[in-house]
Chains A and B, each alone.
Chain A
Amino acid sequence: MISLLIAIPLLLAFVSVMWKRLAKPLFFLAAVTNMTVLLASWFPNSVEIHVMGSWKPPFGINLVFDNASFYAALVVNFFFFLVSLMPNLVESYGVSLMLLMAAANGFVLTGDLFNSFVFMEIMTITAVTVASRRENFYNAFKYLILGGIAGSIYLLATIFAYTATGSLNMAHVSMATISASSLVAITTLYAIGLGVEAKLFPLNGWVSGVYGGNDLAPVILGTSVSFAALYMVGRLFGTVFHGSGAGVLYTLALITIIIGEVAALRQQNLLKAFAYSSVAQAGVVVAMISKGTSRAMGLAYFHLTNDAVAKFVIFLVAGFLVYNYKNLNGVFKKHKVLGASFSMATFSLVGFPLFAGFQSKLRIIMELFSMKDYLFPAVMLLATLIEVGYVVRWNVKLWFEEETDEKADNPIVAGTLALILSLLLVAVFIKPEIFLGGAMKMGNALADTKDYIHGVLSVVKGGM
């Protein structure tokens, strides 16, 4: 069943290249199918695998379907589904988005190191294509170069893992005895290789250009793809390498948080400012993942889910504004619904009460204190302080400044989606279990290496 998550969008992408006009409805169809498949197999609560070509692991390639990959796939597909509802955003990028969807699903589900590299490269190439929309070629090119370097390093890391263990299977690599020096090489290279997609400092130079360059790229890359990438960070450093190399991630992530917020503060471009903020939030998530416990990881993904929902709304609204108005002063007076959703989402980002971000931020700080880590909360609160600065500045600018007489039609679908999602953020504040339950299951699944190994290597069956 779960191989359909990758096969269906791929098949439809191949079909739609023949009939260009079908691309948009087929993208919608693919998203709906994927959501249906996922909803039909709600939280497996065990490690299920799907072996490709019925070659058992560690010999063949296998897809792993446990709580972690289910939750990640759910989030990833959810945002693709939302994007597919907005045809004027998709335009001629339907095929690329379907491929991106297949690749993100594959990246999340795969249990094979090299296979994950292949999917990462598909993601990079399609993401570059999406990023080049609205003539944003130079930034897309920079992204391509950085992605290419990262891909090479990721591949190098995979080969080191292969020579050290004799297999490419994640479960096998995680149980094999790897010498300490070898492990250093592998984790260093993986940290750098994943750092580009996970937006770690200083590998995040592409983010502002790509997210700030058009209205489609941030909406999908800043939510789905970044969730998939950060899922892989948790899978590799949590499950496979049992937290070795976490020190590197922790340090880099803390620097990322501060750098991201500081860079966001000075930004004069709405999309770019929140692009940097998404860098900072990725830093928070990676630092939390590097803590390695199941609770910490669960909270990391809880935070990431909240951030992704908020960012979706923010980028959606910001993209609409930036490409319809020359002067953004006071535009929300004309678009009250968009404005209200934007404000709610940004307040959730900061972590004001009444919104979801409050729940995750406070829980993270609390968890860190119980781990006797006093530095990270301080960094996080300082970052939040800077965040308050620019979030309030943007809100004030967009709501209260003197308006100009430019005019654009209200986007009905986007406005409705933004409003629903921002109300979802309020709902999460009242009832955090909506996201927290799944995220915690995800954290447990990621931290439980033993279960993962057992599930992958001892179950020998094809399975749908």
Chain B
Amino acid sequence: MVYIISIILVGIGVYGLMTQKNLFKHLISLSIIDTAVNIFIVATGYVNGGKAPIYTKNFPSFAIGRFVDPLPQALVLTAIVIGVGTLAVGASLLVRVKEKHSSIDVENMKGVGE
């Protein structure tokens, strides 16, 4: 189910990218795709009944099936940060696009030849 939700989210992101005229919405769509992929990654590591992979007093010892797969979580941590970086650069680019072309709407932008 989580898989399907994340895939549908990817579809929504792609739909947004294809239909929206506002460039900031493109950035948001991209973010949605990123998030969807992240959800998907975490989901691939889930074990039914598994706990968060942290050794505490209550779960002091290792056993197969007790913890969920920690690797996808570590990967997602990286992927989130990358998404943030992309978003920051994209947003600042849009600030300048707005300054230069007086709009961030694809149809109203000025001076975008070729």
Contacts and interface: CB of A to CB of B under 8 A. Distances in A.
Interface of A: 114, 118, 121, 124-125, 128-129, 132, 135, 137-138, 140-141, 144-145, 147-149, 151-152, 155-156, 159, 162-163, 168, 208-209, 212, 269, 272
A156 B34 contact: no
Contacts of A121: 82, 85-86
Given A137-B100, A141-B23, A141-B93, 16 more contacts: A114-B78, A128-B89, A132-B96, A137-B93, A138-B109, A148-B33, A149-B17, A149-B33, A151-B82, A155-B37, A155-B41, A155-B79, A159-B37, A159-B40, A162-B44, A208-B114
A152 B34 contact: yes
A145 B17 contact: yes
A112 to B, nearest CB: 11
B23 A148 contact: no
Given A144-B89, A152-B33, A159 B114 contact: no
Nearest to B44: A163
Contacts of B85: 121, 125
A144 B82 contact: no
Given A129-B89, A144-B86, A269-B114, A149 B30 contact: yes
Contacts, number: 79
10 contacts: A114-B75, A118-B82, A121-B85, A124-B86, A132-B93, A138-B112, A144-B93, A147-B86, A149-B33, A152-B10
Contacts of B93: 128, 132, 137, 140-141, 144
Contact of A125 (B17, B27, B44, B89): B89
B30 A135 contact: no
Nearest to B38: A155
A148 B41 contact: no
B65 interface: no
B34 A148 contact: yes
Contacts of B114: 208-209, 212, 269, 272
Interface in B26-84: 26-27, 30, 33-34, 37, 40-41, 44, 71-72, 75, 78-79, 82
B12 interface: no
Contact of B86 (A114, A125, A159, A162): A125
Nearest to B101: A138
Nearest to B82: A121
B40 A156 contact: yes
A141 B27 CA distance: 9
Contacts of A137: 93, 96-97, 100
B93 to A, nearest CB: 5
B30 A159 contact: no
Contacts of A135: 96, 100
A168 B100 CA distance: 43
Contacts of A124: 86
A168 B71 CA distance: 10
A114 B97 CA distance: 32
Nearest to B41: A159
Given A121-B86, A132-B93, A137-B96, A145 B40 contact: no
Contacts of B78: 114, 118
Contacts of B26: 145
Shortest Cβ-Cβ A-B pairs, 3 listed: A137-B96, A148-B30, A141-B93
Contacts of B75: 114, 159
A269 B114 CA distance: 10
A155 B96 CA distance: 29
Contacts of A151: 82, 86
A336 B41 CA distance: 57
Contacts of B101: 138
B25 to A, nearest CB: 11
A162 B71 contact: yes
A38 B89 CA distance: 33
A138 B33 contact: no
Contacts of B40: 156, 159
Nearest to B7: A156
B103 to A, nearest CB: 11
A138 B82 contact: no
Contact of A148 (B86, B94, B96): B86
B71 A141 contact: no
Contacts of A114: 75, 78
Contacts of B71: 162, 168
A123 to B, nearest CB: 12
Contact of B37 (A152, A269, A272): A152
B16 to A, nearest CB: 11
Given A145-B17, A148-B34, A138 B90 contact: no
Contacts of A156: 37, 40
Report which residue of A125, A138, A147 has the largest number of chain B beta carbons within 10 angstroms of its beta carbon.
A138
Report which residue of B44, B71, B93, B96 has the largest number of chain A beta carbons within 10 angstroms of its beta carbon.
B93
A145 B10 CA distance: 14
A144 B37 contact: no
Given A121-B85, A149-B30, A141 B41 contact: no
B5 to A, nearest CB: 15
Nearest to B33: A152
A151 B78 CA distance: 13
